[in-house]
């Protein structure tokens, strides 16, 4: 397998709703064994997004294998970029190469830093250097003429890009769309507009919620719908489950407290004068 069309056929198999856990593992094993992976092939085939989404699959074998595939691909793409930088000078004015993803849903960080020739170095690189931002990508967000709007657009870009392998122009397009949708939703640069941007930034950059980022960057989740979603709706399944557990526990505690209050205030024991329904059996009450 060495072309995008061949890779696409496997991607289609991954996305079939009828694919079983065994099917997914078998396909991911084939993808993991492939060594002729380049950034252009991944972009054209959209394999990065397809495999990245499987990192949150309910099946642990599938999710773990998907993480391994993404990690390996990131290493291959990194090596490709390093070799290109060594063999071919970057023309003046050209865009910066995209930093690679730090985490694993669509991500890919080499576990060991390498030199331009591919030789492992002795010291680990700082994880902060792998985080993408508008500044590190060389992306200009001063597009509206309004300083506040431009800053908000930059925040959304940073949230979407920080562990993404997608092209910067694609991410910028989503960031622009999100900012414009929020602006329309709240009728201008209001306090509610700013609060919504902050909420989006926090939820989109949540490292435990890669699925939200990827669905926005890929276009699966329309920016107009995102602008109307609450923090609870944007939360990861893990966080939703944790929040629901807290709600249920609070409800239990509240009901328990009310039950005790009802018992203690209702009656007084005729013999010992203590208050409480369960102090004695019903037959002892005078």
Would the pLDDT of 103 be above 60?
no
Q: Is the pLDDT of residue 143 over 80?
A: yes
Residue 25 counted as domain residue = yes
Q: Three-class SS of residue 114?
A: strand
pLDDT in tens, 218-257: 889 999 999 999 888 887 666 656 556 666 666 666 665 5
Domain count, the chain: 2
Q: Which residues contact 30 (CB under 8 A, 6 or more apart)?
A: 1, 10
Predicted local distance difference test score (pLDDT) of residue 237: 61
- Calculate ∠ Cα 193-194-196, nearest 5°: 65
Contacts of 110 (CB under 8 A, 6+ apart): 71, 74, 75, 78, 100
In a domain, 12, yes or no: yes
Chain segment 199-224, per-residue pLDDT in tens: 999 999 888 888 888 889 988 999 99
Give the pLDDT confidence score for residue 100 in this predicted structure: 46
Domain boundary among 57, 84, 111: 84
CA angle 64, 65, 69 (to 5 degrees): 120
- Considering only CA atoms, which of 58, 54, 84 is closest in space to residue 70? 54
- CB atoms under 10 Å from CB of 58, counted, come to 8
**What ranges in 88-146 are assigned the alpha helix state H?**
none
Range of the domain at 205: 147-237
Last residue of a domain, one of 34, 56, 84: 84
Average pLDDT, the chain: 74
pTM of the model: 0.47
The upper half-sphere exposure of residue 39, i.e. CA atoms within 13 Å in the direction of its Cβ, equals 21
Provide the pLDDT for residue 126. Answer: 38
Question: Which residues is 120 bridged to in the sheet?
Answer: 114
Check pLDDT > 80 for residue 186: yes
246 in a structural domain: no
248-265 pLDDT, tens per residue?
Answer: 666 666 665 544 444 445
Provide the β-strand partners of residue 275.
Answer: 268
Say if 71 falls within a structural domain.
yes
pLDDT, average across residues 111-125: 39
Residue 29 sits in a domain whose CATH number is 1.20.930.10
What confidence tens digit (pLDDT) does each residue in 45-85 have?
Answer: 777 778 888 888 888 888 888 888 888 888 887 787 777 77
CB 73 within 8 A of CB 108: yes
pLDDT tops 80 at residue 286: no
Band of the pLDDT at 153, cuts 50, 70, 90?
A: very high
Contact between 266 and 282 (Cβ < 8 Å): no
Q: Which of 63, 84, 105 is the last residue of a domain?
A: 84
**SS3 state of residue 120:** strand
Instruction: Reply yes or no on whether the pLDDT at 111 is more than 70.
Output: no
Distance (Å, whole) CA 55 – CA 62 = 7
Q: Distance of CA 56 to CAs 36, 214, 252, Å?
A: 26, 12, 31
Backbone angles phi, psi at 182, to 5 degrees: -65, -40
Taking the C-alpha atoms of residue 124 and residue 235, their distance in angstroms, rounded to an integer, is: 32
Q: Is residue 273 part of a domain?
A: no
User: Has residue 110 been placed in a domain?
Assistant: no
CA distance 7 to 147: 43
Of the two residues 224 and 113, the one the predictor is more confident about is 224
Assigned domain for 187 exists:
yes
Structure tokens at 51: 């495999």
Three-class DSSP category at 113:
coil
7: in domain: yes
């Amino acid at each position: 397998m060495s072309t995008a069309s061949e890779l696409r056929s496997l991607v289609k198999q991954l996305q079939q709703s009828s694919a079983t856990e065994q099917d997914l593992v078998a396909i991911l094993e084939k993808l993991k064994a492939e060594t002729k992976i380049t950034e252009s092939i991944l972009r054209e085939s959209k394999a990065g997004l397809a495999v990245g989404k499987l990192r949150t699959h309910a099946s642990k074998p599938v999710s773990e294998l998907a993480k391994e595939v993404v990690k390996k691909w990131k290493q291959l793409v990194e090596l490709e970029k390093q070799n290109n930088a060594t063999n071919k000078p970057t023309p003046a004015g050209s865009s910066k190469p995209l930093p690679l993803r730090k985490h694993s849903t669509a991500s890919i960080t080499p576990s060991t830093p390498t030199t331009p020739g591919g030789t492992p170095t002795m010291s680990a690189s700082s994880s902060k250097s792998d985080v993408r931002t508008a500044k590190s990508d060389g992306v200009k967000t001063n597009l509206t003429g309004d300083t506040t709007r431009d800053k908000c657009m930059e925040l959304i870009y940073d949230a979407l890009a920080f562990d993404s392998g997608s092209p910067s122009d694609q991410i910028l397009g989503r960031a622009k769309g999100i900012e414009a949708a929020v602006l329309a939703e709240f009728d201008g640069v209001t306090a509610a507009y700013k609060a919504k941007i902050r909420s989006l930034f926090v939820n989109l950059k949540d490292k435990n919620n890669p699925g939200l980022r990827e669905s926005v960057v890929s276009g699966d989740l329309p920016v107009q719908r995102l602008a109307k979603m609450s923090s609870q709706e944007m939360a990861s399944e893990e966080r939703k489950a944790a929040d629901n557990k807290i709600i249920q526990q609070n409800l239990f505690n509240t009901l328990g407290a009310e039950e005790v209050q009802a018992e203690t205030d209702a009656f007084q024991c005729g013999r010992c004068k203590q208050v409480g329904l369960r102090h004695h059996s019903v037959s002892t009450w005078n």
